[in-house]
């Protein structure tokens, strides 16, 4: 994909409030398609794109959910950057039946997982996710002003969450105490959980890694 097409795509997604995680996923899907054919994606035919998804499913054995994420990015690219109508799913079949339910941790397992996290920043981040029921993409985008600790409120404001909608979720007294301890040590400014640079928030990959490392700790 040319730098011009990439810039157009990212600029449009930024304008419409797409999360950094979604933007990265869409760009990755389109880059994969371009690399497969070694050709600019705006030059490919519908049949070529269908063959690409057949390759992902039957030869690379990618999960349906991964293919669906690629499909979302590719169809968005064609509709909004190439001004090209996409009438089908490029051959991607419906979600397979018999999908497994996600594993739900017991209270004891959650307590053990959190106790394994020695880094205060990562521990408070995971506790905020668990206590307030936040998604990874939501917790990393929290700002200090989103924590409304007035006794008459006690809520966390989630700005532009799933579906790019604002919502509120509960702020418990216990979590507030953890956040205050974290605040005293880190004094975050723009973002509640900043990344390596103070003007950017923690990345999705870093937050996910903190969870994965804690999960591997022995019981």
**One domain, residues 60 and 115:** no
* Domain assignment present for 143: yes
Domain, as residue range, for 147: 107-215
Number of domains in the chain: 2
**Whole-model pTM?**
0.57
Q: How far apart are CA 121 and CA 109, in angstroms?
A: 20
* Domain assignment present for 94: no
**One domain, residues 136 and 188:** yes
Q: What pLDDT is attached to residue 166?
A: 80
The per-residue pLDDT for range 180-201, each reduced to its tens digit, is 999 999 999 899 999 988 788 9
Q: How far apart are CA 62 and CA 83, in angstroms?
A: 28
**One domain, residues 73 and 128:** no
Q: What pLDDT is attached to residue 93?
A: 87
pLDDT at 162 over 70: no
Q: What pLDDT is attached to residue 42?
A: 93
pLDDT at 41 over 60: yes
**One domain, residues 50 and 119:** no
Q: How far apart are CA 173 and CA 179, in angstroms?
A: 10
């Amino acid at each position: 994909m040319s730098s011009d097409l990439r810039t157009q795509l990212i600029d449009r997604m930024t304008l419409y409030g797409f999360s950094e995680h979604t933007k990265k996923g869409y760009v990755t899907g389109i880059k994969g398609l371009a690399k497969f054919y070694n050709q600019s994606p705006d030059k490919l035919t519908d049949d070529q794109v269908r063959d690409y998804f057949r390759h992902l499913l039957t030869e690379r054995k990618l999960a349906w959910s991964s293919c669906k994420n690629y499909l979302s990015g590719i169809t968005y690219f064609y509709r909004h950057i190439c001004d090209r109508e996409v009438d089908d799913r490029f051959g991607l079949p419906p979600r397979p039946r018999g999908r497994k339910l996600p594993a739900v941790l017991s209270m004891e397992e959650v307590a053990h997982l959190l106790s394994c996290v020695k880094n205060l920043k990562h521990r408070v981040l995971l506790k905020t996710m668990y206590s307030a029921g936040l998604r990874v993409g939501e917790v990393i985008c929290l700002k200090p002003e989103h924590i409304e600790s007035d006794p008459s409120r006690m809520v966390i404001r989630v700005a532009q969450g799933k579906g790019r909608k604002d919502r509120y979720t509960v702020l418990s007294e216990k979590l507030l105490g953890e956040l205050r301890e974290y605040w005293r040590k880190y004094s975050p400014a723009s973002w509640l959980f900043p990344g390596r640079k103070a003007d950017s928030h923690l990345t999705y990959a870093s937050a996910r890694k903190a969870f994965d490392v804690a999960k591997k700790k022995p019981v």
